[in-house]
Every structure is written in structure tokens, then in C-alpha cells.
Amino acid sequence: MHPIYLQRIFLYLLTVCILVSFLLGVQIFLSPRFLNHFIFHVKQPLRYIEFWRSGYRVQNIQCLYSNKEKSFVYEDLTRMQILPNSIFFLETSCKHEAGVDLSPRQACSIESAALMNTNRQIYVVIISSVKNQTRSPVIQRLYEYKNVQIVQVDLVRLFQNTPLYRFYVEDNILTSLWPLSHMSDLLRYVTLYKYGGTYLDLDFMVIKSLEHLHNYAGAESSVAVAAGVIHLDHGHWLSSAALGELRAHFRATEWGANGPGVLTRLLKNECVQQSYGEKLTQCRNFTIYPPSYFYPIHWPQWADYFNETSAPSIMTRLEPSLAVHVWNSFAKQVPVQLKSQQPYAQLARRYCPRISDLAGDTF
Ligand SMILES: *[C@@H]1O[C@H](CO)[C@@H](O)[C@H](O)[C@H]1NC(C)=O
Ligand SMILES: *[C@@H]1O[C@H](CO)[C@@H](O)[C@H](O)[C@H]1NC(C)=O
Ligand SMILES: *[C@@H]1O[C@H](CO)[C@@H](O)[C@H](O)[C@H]1NC(C)=O
């Protein structure tokens, strides 16, 4: 062969090689998982600033990754037979590796739900990996209730067969500025989509039975529907609508947009009435209770739950409520003096007697 042909063939092969590796590079670079990790690391400094501002240390978010192996000590929610109309609490921090460690206030909330809803199974869903099966005293007290069970969850299996499966396995949650909080938002809708039932925040004191109520949430003000308590029957239109909305419009940089924001937006689109005053609102087989039912004290007034002076009038105000949201994200640092007349303390003594007893003077 003439050398000029050999040279051409060589150049041709070289060009093909370069082109193929370039395309492979672009492909890897553009894969969602790569992009998300990239964005995640770019955002990390922002996250540091955010947590420094809010007084927290940077959080461990290992248990959110879709490809991380997890240790199971408790049963896996996705491999259980879930009773209809169960109540779900979600603990979405990744800090339980050395043993599940619920705070007394969280446990108090769980106890109140168990006490007021004796015919309902209560699942406390832990998304963290857990390696130690020793039960803390708090958990031992909770297990005195036959209807309370701590469970873990294989998130890949939970998201399977839901509209958010790809969203989850591509680790899009890592693009969020508040990944744990936004995961908690997603999980409450995914859980209700899969099993139906009631979702409750871990800072609700349940003071009446919720057993007879179906398909509802509570307004926290005249313009906003909150996502701290949601009941949906299995197959209700709102659960698929919520997942569809999250898939299309997940907002990584807005704190409230993926939880309460989803309900507020959907109901605004679907319903005529858009203001939630003193009466309940019915819309397409869904009820929105006025603030007095679940959020009798608006969040800027959260300190009312700790104030002994105004306690009598506050307690009167709480009487008609079904459950009381105590805003622990604001109130965490303030101690509840369990033997005092603080409204929170009065509620705890009455609706979580065992945990109050265990906690002693304060929690
Ligand atoms: C599990 O946790 C208990 C209580 O926190 C502790 O005493 C025990 O040493 C732990 N076990 C292991 C294997 O880490
Ligand atoms: C309301 O929803 C429930 C289940 O989600 C269903 O059984 C019932 O028929 C619905 N009612 C109406 C009027 O659509
Ligand atoms: C408690 O409530 C009283 C009466 O409403 C109010 O004057 C006082 O400032 C409150 N105390 C605190 C610590 O918020």
C-alpha cells in the first residue's frame, strides 16, 4: 500500500476515536446524575452559609442518595402489608445509624396520635440507615402502645411505580438547598399515593380522634393550605396530582414550595373558593379545614404555647381543635416546663402522659 493511504487511514481512525471519546465525555457530562452531583457541590458553600445562619451544623444527607446501601434493623415499609387508613410520621434525618433516637417532643407527638386513634396503626418511618437495634427509653415507652411501629424504608422501592421514580433515582433532590426538608415534602405525598392514609408532622399534638375524617388538609391562614396534616384515601385524585405537580415544578430553591405550596397551588387551580376563613371548604372530594382545626395559633405567635400568663385564654382557644401544630422548628430551643401551666406542658401531660412521665421536668 502506498504510505499516503496508510497515513489517511490512520488520520481517519484517529478522528473517529477523538469523536467517540468526545461524545462519551459529553454524554457523561450531561447525564442527570453527574449534573446533580455537580450542582450539589457548587451549592455546598451556599448550604454552609444557610446552616450557619440558622445555627445548625451542616447536615448529613447520606441517606437520601438513591444508590447508597442501607442497613435495616426495623421492618421495611415497602415489604409490609399496610393497613388502610394508617397514620404515617416521617423522620427524614440521616442521623439514626447508631440507633433510632427520637426526641421526647417527637415521641410526644407520636404518643398523642396513638392515644387518640386507638383503632389506627401508627407508622414512624425512618429513612436513615440504622445499625443498632437497642431501643432507647423513649422508644420503649412508645412501644407500650400496641398501635405504634417504627419502620425503615427502601426509598428506591417506595418511589417505584410512582410518577417520581426517575426524579428520585436521578438524585434530583440533591439540587435542593434544603434536601432533607424537601425530601420530607416529597415523601409525604409519595406515601399517601402508595398507601393512602394520614400524614402527620412530628410537631402535632393530636387532641381528638381523626379516625372518622377522610380526604382533608388544614389551612394555616386565610390564603395558605398547610401540609402538616393530610389525609387522602388510596387513589384520590389529589395524590397523583401532587406527584405530577412535583415532577413538573419541583423548586430546589424555595423552602415552602414543595410541601404546602403544592397543595395551595393545586387547590387554587381546581377550586372556586380560594380563601379559607372560619368555615370549611369543600372542593372535588377534598376538605380544607379552617385554621382553628389544626393550626389554631399562627406561626408568628408560636411563643404562646410557652406563655403561662396567657395560658387560660390560649387553652380555651385550642379546645375546638382536632390537633395542634406546635411549630417546633421555631420553638425547639425553648424548654417545655412539664410541671408548669405553659399550654404546651398542659397538652403534653394530658395527651402524651407516658413520654411526659419519662421526661420528668422539662423536654
Ligand atoms: C447500641 O446502642 C446502645 C445504646 O445507645 C449502646 O449501649 C450499645 O453499645 C450500642 N451497640 C453497638 C453495637 O454499637
Ligand atoms: C371521594 O373519594 C373517595 C375515595 O377517594 C371515593 O370513594 C368517593 O366515591 C369519592 N366521592 C365523590 C363524590 O367523588
Ligand atoms: C405572655 O403573654 C402576655 C399576655 O398576652 C404578654 O404580655 C407577655 O409579653 C407574654 N410573654 C412572653 C414571654 O411572650
For residue 249, the model assigns a pLDDT of 84
Beta bridge partner(s), residue 362:
337
Q: 233 CB less than 6 Å from ligand 2?
A: yes
Residues 156 and 76 in one domain: yes
Question: Domain ends where: 269, 293, 317?
Answer: 293
Which residue, chain included where needed, has cell 386513634?
117
Measured from the Cα of 132, ligand 1's closest atom is: 1
pLDDT per residue over 64-112, tens digit each? 988 888 999 999 999 999 999 999 999 999 999 999 989 999 999 999 9
CATH of the domain at 180: 3.90.550.20
CB 207 within 8 A of CB 112: yes
For residue 90, the model assigns a pLDDT of 97
Residue 20's SS3 state is helix
Task: Determine how β-strand 148-152 pairs with β-strand 122-126.
Answer: parallel
What size, in residues, is the chain?
363
Q: Kindly state the cell numbers that stand for 342.
A: 405553659
Residues 127 and 193 in one domain: yes
Task: Determine how β-strand 286-289 pairs with β-strand 281-283.
Answer: antiparallel
Question: Is residue 330 one of the residues assigned to a domain?
Answer: yes
Residues 26 and 156 in one domain: no
The Cβ of residue 37 has, within 10 Å, a number of other Cβ atoms equal to 15
For residue 33, the model assigns a pLDDT of 58
CA of 300 to the centre of ligand 3 (A): 13
Residues 282 and 305 in one domain: no
Name the DSSP class of 297.
S
For residue 113, the model assigns a pLDDT of 98
Residues 193 and 327 in one domain: no
CB 201 within 8 A of CB 299: no
Give me the helix-helix angle, 32-53 and 3-30, nearest 10°.
Answer: 40
For residue 157, the model assigns a pLDDT of 96
For residue 264, the model assigns a pLDDT of 86
Ligand nearest to the CA of 98: 1
Residues 195 and 257 in one domain: yes
Q: Which domain, by its residues, includes 101?
A: 63-293
The Cβ of residue 46 has, within 10 Å, a number of other Cβ atoms equal to 11
Domains contained in the chain, number: 3
For residue 241, the model assigns a pLDDT of 93
Question: Is residue 18 one of the residues assigned to a domain?
Answer: yes
Question: Is residue 47 one of the residues assigned to a domain?
Answer: no
For residue 147, the model assigns a pLDDT of 96
* Sign of CA pseudo-dihedral 203, 207, 209, 210: negative
The C-alpha R_g of the chain, in whole angstroms, comes to 24
Residues 89 and 114 in one domain: yes
Indicate yes or no: pTM above 0.95. Answer: no
Q: Which amino acid is at 244?
A: G
Give me the helix-helix angle, 260-270 and 237-249, nearest 10°.
Answer: 110
Residues 21 and 113 in one domain: no
Residues 263 and 345 in one domain: no
Q: 211 CB less than 6 Å from ligand 2?
A: no
Residues 211 and 314 in one domain: no
Report the alpha-carbon distance of residue 181 to residue 255 in Å, rounded: 8
Longest dimension (CA), the chain: 103
Question: Domain ends where: 238, 264, 293?
Answer: 293
Question: Is residue 41 one of the residues assigned to a domain?
Answer: no
For residue 265, the model assigns a pLDDT of 85
Alpha helices in 207-259 (DSSP H): 237-249
Question: Is residue 230 one of the residues assigned to a domain?
Answer: yes
Question: Is residue 121 one of the residues assigned to a domain?
Answer: yes
Question: Is residue 287 one of the residues assigned to a domain?
Answer: yes
Give me the helix-helix angle, 237-249 and 179-195, nearest 10°.
Answer: 150
Question: Domain ends where: 293, 317, 351?
Answer: 293
Residues 278 and 230 in one domain: yes
For residue 261, the model assigns a pLDDT of 79
Beta bridge partner(s), residue 125:
90, 151
CB 150 within 8 A of CB 72: no
pLDDT, averaged in runs of 10, over the chain (363 residues)? 81 88 71 61 63 60 88 96 96 92 95 97 96 94 96 96 94 83 93 97 96 95 90 95 90 72 83 74 90 93 94 95 92 90 95 95 92
The string of DSSP codes covering 123-148 is EEEE-S-----PPPHHHHHHTTSTTE
Measured from the Cα of 133, ligand 1's closest atom is: 1
CA of 246 to the centre of ligand 2 (A): 23
Best residue among 134, 138, 139, 140 to mutate for probing ligand 1's pocket (most ligand atoms within 8 Å of CB) is 134
Residues 320 and 174 in one domain: no
The Cβ of residue 265 has, within 10 Å, a number of other Cβ atoms equal to 16
Question: Is residue 125 one of the residues assigned to a domain?
Answer: yes
